[in-house]
Amino acid sequence: MQKRLFTIALLAAALVVYFSPELMAQAAVQLYPPHWFTDMKWNKVQILAYAPNNGAFNQQQVTLKHRGVTLDKVHQLENGKYLALDLTITPDAQPGKVSILFTPKKGRALSMEWQLLPKLQGGGKDYAQGVTAEDFVYLLMPDRFSNGDTKNDRIAGMRDQSLDRDSIFLRHGGDLQGVINHLDYLQNLGVTALWMTPPLENDMPNRTEHGYACTNHYKIDPRLGGNDAYKKLSDALHQRGMKLIQDAVYNHMGSFHFTFIDLPTQDWVHQWDTYTNTTYKDQPLFDPYHADIDRKKMLEGWFVPTMPDLNQNNPYVANFLIQHALWCVQEFGLDGFRIDTYPYNDLNFMNRCNQALLNEYPNITMFGETWVHGMLNQAYFVENNLNIPFKSNLPGVTDFQTNLYGITKAVNEPFGWTEGVNKLYVTLSNDYVYKDPMRNVIFLDNHDKTRFFTEVGENLNKHKMGLAWLLTCRGIPQMYYGTEVLMAGSTWPFDGYVRLDFPGGWQGDKVNAFTRQGLSPNQTDVLDYVTALANFRKKSSAIKTGKMMQYVPQDGLYVYFRYDEQQTVMCIMNTSTQTKEVNFADYAQRTAGFSQAISISNKPQAYNMSAPISLDSYQMLVLELKR
């Protein structure tokens, strides 16, 4: 009898919670953004109110009550289930619950509470710090890095219930707790900033491991741990003096996003009579001879059939996206953004979005993915010195030119007048097109490209040469997870092969890179090499903020310097198949006055600069010069 009464009490309590007015209101009307913040420069906030089960919702009257918050205008959207509410939040507004009343022509009014929270303090110091050439960025895919909480491997009700580590296409269970668990590893490696593929909810039926098809902008994917886990990760990073970069996707969303399933307006996404894919050709954006249809297809065509292309010329869409970016900085304490598929966005919208972030957070930085071919093509999308009509305000880009035509050609292609390492030299010589090339992000590989170790034919010396270049060249270095332990894989025939699990991220893994259990001697050697170089870089003023000087390559031998008044670092790269002799006196402009060179590696060595040194084929030396 006592057990039965206890069960009845539990059921009664559950019913009270289930039918509570607050939860019922939340189910009836959804508000985006779900809350805002005091003391923001962006104080003209537009709430998108959505009533999924009320086709006459846009006929309701709306009133609002909170000191310092006014309701300026109510927009009746084309779809009767939506309203857009324009609010002004004055400087004297206090944190608290904003009461919003929705009153239909007939029936009972619905009262909702919308929170106004205090703005985070310390912006530019504790968060929104920006990511600069003083940082070393580590890119990972949460689903493939480490499974820290097996309870969220599958979430009931989500469309993708897959979980199979033997498949490169299905979910593997990695999450944000797994990342938190291994911050010691990243910090010891020399990493100062973390960039992850998008953590937002990706409630698609399949291929949800990568995160690029968002279905709810204001919800972190529960399979990664949800909003609380993301905040916990941000706090843990900042406590260590590290930074958090969010992968922003403005161009498209997932086809199961609520605003696509139930369009607020018909032009919320770009519509075509028949499905039209983007051409992936950036040239029509700046080509003086372009055809209008080519430009339209590039900008308004869909990236893939499951990713509808957002119409950023629709003012409601623009507000939705910009406010989301600002909200994320506040909500999660972000330090910067990597912007996906940058050339496919409306570039005037991107200038507006970038400026809104910079107005609010002057130190924050953004770098855009510009997978294009040619220095001028890439420079078009970033702050540049070009005399052209469109002027971008994007601070930096992912530098595909030093990747595609630079380091990969340098280590793989025989030397020639325009071949091999000369391509890296020429590419860097064109840096005059950028306002600040130090803000560009350089890399060897990423989640869309063949892994560098595979790119160099699993040649250990070439791999280490690439890593040495990455950690000494101008710009912001970004390393893809597992590069430090020789993870291999090609995008052909499937991109999943470059997104394999980090060894040791799952209980029972026979190889564990975090503890070094089971690593081969070569893996350990490269891990030590990266650790030595990256931690030297942390303290190197010459590399982080200094100037660069490069010499014309000679028969495969390429020499460049990073230097300032306090320090000189000499980098010697032998891309020849033959051993090369290096005379320090040949580089007297930078070597004069120095007598000793100390190699920076896990096996340091001192060199007397009065004598030549020999450098084996595909070897690179990073030397700190001493007087």
Band the pLDDT of 21: cuts 50, 70, 90.
very low
The CATH number of the domain holding residue 52 is 2.60.40.10
Residue 550 and residue 535 share a domain? no
Q: What is the pLDDT of residue 276?
A: 98
Give the helix/strand (H/E) hosting 571: strand 568-574
| Residue from 177, 155, 162 nearest 209 by CA | 162
Band the pLDDT of 122: cuts 50, 70, 90.
confident
Among 539, 556, 586, the domain boundary falls at: 539
Residue 70 and residue 181 share a domain? no
Residue 141 and residue 40 share a domain? no
Strand order in the sheet with 568-574: 547-550, 557-563, 568-574, 619-626, 596-599, 606-608
362-387 pLDDT tens trace: 999 999 999 999 999 999 999 999 99
Q: What is the pLDDT of residue 279?
A: 98
User: Does residue 17 form part of some domain?
Assistant: no
Gap between the Cα atoms of 215 and 396, Å rounded? 28
Contact 101, 110 (CB under 8 A): yes
Percentage of the residues of the chain whose pLDDT score is greater than 70: 96
Contact 73, 86 (CB under 8 A): yes
Residue 499 and residue 556 share a domain? no
Residue 199 and residue 320 share a domain? yes
DSSP SS3 for 403: helix
∠359-476-428 over CA atoms, to 5°?
A: 110
Q: What is the pLDDT of residue 27?
A: 62
Close Cβ partners of 10 (under 8 Å, ≥ 6 residues apart): none
Model confidence at 19: pLDDT above 80: no
User: Does residue 577 form part of some domain?
Assistant: yes
For every residue of 222-241, DSSP letters joined together read: GGGTHHHHHHHHHHHHHHTT
Residue 580 and residue 432 share a domain? no
Close Cβ partners of 490 (under 8 Å, ≥ 6 residues apart): 450, 451, 454, 497, 498
Q: How far is CA 575 from the centre of its chain?
A: 32
User: Does residue 296 form part of some domain?
Assistant: no
Residue 492 and residue 594 share a domain? no
578 secondary structure, DSSP code: S
264-320 pLDDT tens trace: 999 999 999 999 999 999 999 999 999 999 999 999 999 999 999 999 999 999 999
What phi and psi, each to the nearest 5 degrees, are found at residue 256?
-105, 15
Q: What is the pLDDT of residue 125?
A: 84
∠525-179-134 over CA atoms, to 5°?
A: 65
Burial annotation 235-273 (CB, 10 A radius, 16+ → b, else e): bbbbeeebbbbbbbbbbbbbbbbbbbeebbbeebbbeee
**The amino acid at 358:** L
Query: What mean pLDDT do residues 547-551 have?
Result: 98
Residue 556 and residue 495 share a domain? no
Among 487, 521, 539, the domain boundary falls at: 539
User: Does residue 21 form part of some domain?
Assistant: no
Alpha carbon distances (Å) from 606 to 467, 468, 626? 21, 18, 10
Model confidence at 24: pLDDT above 90: no
What is the chain's Cα-based Rg?
Answer: 27
Band the pLDDT of 13: cuts 50, 70, 90.
very low
Residue 341 and residue 463 share a domain? yes
Query: What mean pLDDT do residues 326-352 have?
Result: 98
Residue 56 and residue 41 share a domain? yes
Average pLDDT, the chain: 95
Among 84, 117, 150, the domain boundary falls at: 117
Instruction: Give the count of domains, the chain.
Output: 3
Query: What mean pLDDT do residues 426-435 have?
Result: 98
Q: What is the pLDDT of residue 9?
A: 35
Domain of 50, in residue numbers = 28-117
User: Does residue 129 form part of some domain?
Assistant: no
User: Does residue 7 form part of some domain?
Assistant: no
3-state secondary structure 357-368: HHHHCCCCEEEE
Contact 335, 364 (CB under 8 A): yes
**Catalytic positions:** 340, 369
User: Does residue 153 form part of some domain?
Assistant: yes
The count of C-alpha atoms lying within 13 angstroms of the C-alpha of 475, restricted to the half-sphere facing its C-beta, is 26
180-215 pLDDT tens trace: 999 999 999 999 999 999 999 999 999 999 999 999
The CATH number of the domain holding residue 367 is 3.20.20.80
The CATH number of the domain holding residue 557 is 2.60.40.1180
Residue 99 and residue 157 share a domain? no
Is the C-alpha dihedral spanning 402, 403, 404, 408 positive or negative? positive
505-528 pLDDT tens trace: 999 999 999 999 999 999 999 999
Residue 571 and residue 520 share a domain? no
249-274 pLDDT tens trace: 999 999 999 999 999 999 999 999 99
Gap between the Cα atoms of 421 and 576, Å rounded? 9
Band the pLDDT of 10: cuts 50, 70, 90.
very low
Close Cβ partners of 406 (under 8 Å, ≥ 6 residues apart): 423, 424, 427, 428
User: Does residue 23 form part of some domain?
Assistant: no
